Structure formats: structure tokens, C-alpha cells
Amino acid sequence: MRLSRYFLPVLKEAPSDAQIASHQLMLRAGMIRQEAAGIYAWLPLGLRVLNKIEQIVREEMDRAGAIELLMPTLQLADLWRESGRYDAYGPEMLRITDRHERELLYGPTNEEMVTEIFRGSVRSYKDLPKNLYHVQWKFRDERRPRFGVMRGREFLMKDAYSFDLDAEGARKSYNRMFVAYLNLFSRMGLKAVPMRADTGPIGGDLSHEFIVLAETGESAVFCHKDLVEMAAPGPDVEWYGDLQPLVDQRTALYAATEEMHDEAAFDAIPEGDRLSARGIEVGHIFSFGTKYSEPMKALVMGPDGKEVPVQMGSYGVGVSRLLGAIIEASHDDGGIIWPESVAPYHVGIVNMRQGDAACDAACDEAYKALQAAGVDVLYDDTDARGGAKFATMDLIGLPWQLIVGPKGVAEGVVELKNRKTGERVSEPLDAVLARLTGKAA
């Protein structure tokens, strides 16, 4: 994409009401625009990152055996009355009446609807286990929306729902999602620590939040420091084998949000291994048995010929919230530093003298070669000053900057800058292109 044709409304200063780094930088980098309190339009640069995060989530869900569908944003109030949650959920629920006086709601979550879909189609234990997921917009009418996409009212979520015959099967489904979450957050360059958590309005007695440590985190968290450095299991696990040892490896060490914190247990950890910090929740998983299947009569025929309510779990990832979490974990005074896996563009080409024949030719050659190799590239072909171009590239955080200036071109070299490390090298264009296309592969 040529920047002269792109829509990138960058700001020199962040609005005064943007309190944390991710909110400030997303606004300044032209990624989002606020349309109402806690409601944002996703501008082209932000949407590219959102789509890349969504794709990683989708790939890891598919790898772990979950099956994608798409449920609507509006739900019938009567479904929530079946589960008993309609009156209990509270003012965060946006309730709507259509022209025929039917009561609807803008879904804050989808346990009821997916249970209704399941019970209408599955009758036998032979069709289990099942895990259905979608990536869909949600709405929760937060009393005090703040921190940009970190605590908005409208947000994009991946929510998955498992169905099993018995508690043993439900635990296996829970473990699959536990391991899948470790992998998907790792692919985004995040170290997400699983912590025992309160189940809240979802219900159940088994729940973990996945927390990214950050100074601007919304709540206090406490854990054994080894959990922060523990590597993700990776994709080559036996998904339908015994994943309990991988889960036990992490849950054996102390980790809890402030709602579940046990001061005595934390104090029993050697002082040098204790870590207390602020954290950002990026995922939350629950196992809640028959909380929904029993009142909504989601029954299957067991091997003994008797009908039983299925055991269920739900598994959420804050897809839009992840942009904020990644930025909080990866930025500097100049702007965002995107991990390569989610960067909106892999390379930014900076033409230091637009209109100079040699510079234009070198930039055009690089642009075409990178595009042909399948590398996402943003070419700053505007007539802005060099300092402004560098500031914009640092602000939007692309992993690599390919800098083409008249002096270098005359000497047969271009400059390549690594945004994360700040390292710069001067090499012939062919060598730089080989390096960048090699990384893309």
C-alpha cells in the first residue's frame, strides 16, 4: 500500500482523556476513532491488526478441535429467561424491544444461544464431544468505559462452548482450551499467565483468567515468577490425549487474581520467587457443568439409554482487547512496537527524497519485490520531511523500516532499521530484500 493513497490520520498529540499508553497510541497512530463512550470505529491500520489477531485465534481454535460457526449479535430475551439469567444479569445488558414488542438483547455472551443450537441438533453421546466457537461483536454497558479498547462497551470476542457427556470429558475439553490459549497468546508475543479466577455471572466452579502483566493492568495479580517465563506447549501436543500434566505444570504453582488471592499461600512461596504486579485479562475459561443444559433441557442419550444434561464449558478471548494488551506490553517513547505476527505491515519503505529519480526507482523496485514475495508493505511515498516520516514509522510500529536516501543510493546501499532493537544496517538493496523476504517466509 502506498501511503499517499492510504487513510492514516495520525495525531501529534493524544486527546487529553486518553489515560494509558495503548489508548493514546491507538488514537495517535490512526487505528481507532471514538464514536461514543466505549464505542470505536476501527480505521484501516487498526483493522489490519484486529484481523491478524483474529486469524491467530481462529487457527489455534481449529487446531484444538473447535468448530467455527457464527451467531447473531441480537438474542431473544426468552432464551435468557430459560436459564434464569435475564433478570439477574444486571444493567450491563442492553435490552431492546422491536416493533412487534418482542424483547431482545444485544448479546454480552452466548451461553444460552449456543445451548439452544446444540439441543436442537444433538441427541446422542456418540456425537460428543463438541466445541463450537465464533468470533463476534459483544456489548456490555459498562458504567465507566475507559482505557480505550481495554474497557469498551462494544468489543470483539472469540467465545467457544464445549459439550461433553460427563465431568471427565468436560475436564479434557477444558484442558484443550487451556493449552490452546497458552499457544495463541505466545504466538502474539505475549506471556499470559493462567490464574485461578472468580467465575462471576458465567457460573461454575472451575475458572482461569489468562493475565498479561502490565503496569496499567486493571487488577492486582499474584504468582510464582517461574510462570512468567514458562514456554508455551507448542502446536505438536496430542490434543485428544492426556493434557493434564501440561495443565498441572502451571496450576501447581501459585497464581491468582485479587478476587481469589490467598495471602497465606502466597507468603509460603520463597520471597525471591514471589511476584505481585498489575495484570490485564486477555482470556477467561470456565467449566460450569449443567448450569445451562439442565434448565434449558440440553439432553443427550447416554450409553445406558438414559437422557442426561450435557456438561458444558465456555472459553473467551478478548480479540479487540488484545490490541491494547499487546501495545501495553510492547511500546516505547516513539510509539508502538508490533510483534511480527500481528503487525499491520511487515515493512515500511521510507523514501527520503520523493521525486528524486534514483530514490523513486529504488523504492519502486523494493515495493514491487516485497509485494511479489507476499510481504505486507507500506510505502511512504509522500512529500513529507524525513523527520516526520521517521516519526510516523516509529509511531505505527512496523517491525522493519527500509530507508532509501539519495546518498545511500549513490553508494549502492539502502538502510534497514529494526523497530524493536533500533539496530540499523546499510546493505545493497538486493541483500536487504533477501533478508526481508526470508523473514516473511
For the segment 377-393, what is each residue's pLDDT rounded down to a tens digit? 999 999 999 999 999 99
Query: How many residues are listed for the chain in this entry?
Result: 441
SS3 at position 290: coil
Q: What is the pLDDT of residue 440?
A: 41
d(CA 25, CA 254): 34
Return the amino acid letter for 343: A
Grid cell for residue 32: 481507532
Residue 175, pLDDT above cutoff 60: yes
Q: What is the pLDDT of residue 29?
A: 97
Residue 13, pLDDT above cutoff 70: yes
Predicted confidence (pLDDT) per residue in 394-425, tens digit: 999 999 999 999 999 999 999 999 999 999 99
Q: What is the pLDDT of residue 201?
A: 54
Q: What is the pLDDT of residue 42?
A: 98
pTM for the model: 0.94
Contacts of 211 (CB under 8 A, 6+ apart): 192, 193, 194, 195, 217, 221, 257, 279, 280, 281, 282
Contacts of 300 (CB under 8 A, 6+ apart): 122, 123, 124, 125, 127, 128, 165, 307, 308, 310
SS3 at position 288: strand
Q: 46-49: which pairs have CB atoms within 8 A and are 24 or more residues apart? A: 46/323, 46/344, 48/344, 48/345, 48/376, 49/323, 49/338, 49/342, 49/343, 49/344
- End-to-end alpha carbon distance in the chain: 20
Predicted confidence (pLDDT) per residue in 326-352, tens digit: 999 999 999 999 999 999 999 999 999
**Confidence grade of residue 197 (pLDDT, cut at 50, 70, 90):** confident
Average pLDDT over residues 175-179: 97
**Confidence grade of residue 292 (pLDDT, cut at 50, 70, 90):** very high
Beta strands of 85-142 (E only): which ranges?
Answer: 94-97, 103-106, 130-139
d(CA 155, CA 175): 26
**Angstrom distances, CA of residue 429 to CA of 222, 356, 362, 374, 407:** 49, 17, 8, 17, 14
d(CA 327, CA 189): 11
Average pLDDT over residues 243-262: 92
DSSP code, position 416: E
Predicted confidence (pLDDT) per residue in 90-127, tens digit: 899 999 999 999 999 999 999 999 999 999 999 999 99
Residue 360, pLDDT above cutoff 60: yes
Q: What is the pLDDT of residue 218?
A: 80
Q: What is the pLDDT of residue 219?
A: 83
SS3 at position 325: helix
DSSP code, position 398: -
Q: What is the pLDDT of residue 257?
A: 87
**Confidence grade of residue 214 (pLDDT, cut at 50, 70, 90):** confident
DSSP code, position 344: S
Radius of gyration of the chain (CA): 24
DSSP code, position 159: E
Please name the CATH architecture into which domain 347-440 falls. Answer: 3-Layer(aba) Sandwich (3.40)
Q: What is the mean pLDDT of the chain?
A: 94
Q: What is the pLDDT of residue 204?
A: 54
* Residue 277: CB atoms within 10 Å: 16
Yes or no: say if 404 and 364 are a contact pair by the CB < 8 Å rule. Answer: no
Helix 244-251 with 167-187: angle, nearest 10 deg: 70
d(CA 181, CA 266): 25
φ, ψ of residue 384 in degrees (nearest 5): -65, 160
E strand or H helix at 308, and its extent? strand 307-309
Q: Which of 122-126, 259-263, 316-320 has the weakest average pLDDT?
A: 259-263
Residue 203, pLDDT above cutoff 70: no
Q: What is the pLDDT of residue 202?
A: 52
Q: What is the pLDDT of residue 16?
A: 86
SS3 at position 227: helix
Query: May I ask the CATH class of domain 3-335?
Result: alpha beta
C-alpha of 348 from chain center: 24
Yes or no: say if 157 and 319 are a contact pair by the CB < 8 Å rule. Answer: yes
Q: What is the pLDDT of residue 57?
A: 98
Average pLDDT over residues 248-275: 93
Yes or no: say if 299 and 308 are a contact pair by the CB < 8 Å rule. Answer: yes
d(CA 314, CA 308): 19
Domain range list for the chain: 3-335, 347-440
**Confidence grade of residue 146 (pLDDT, cut at 50, 70, 90):** confident
Place of cell 445451562: 292
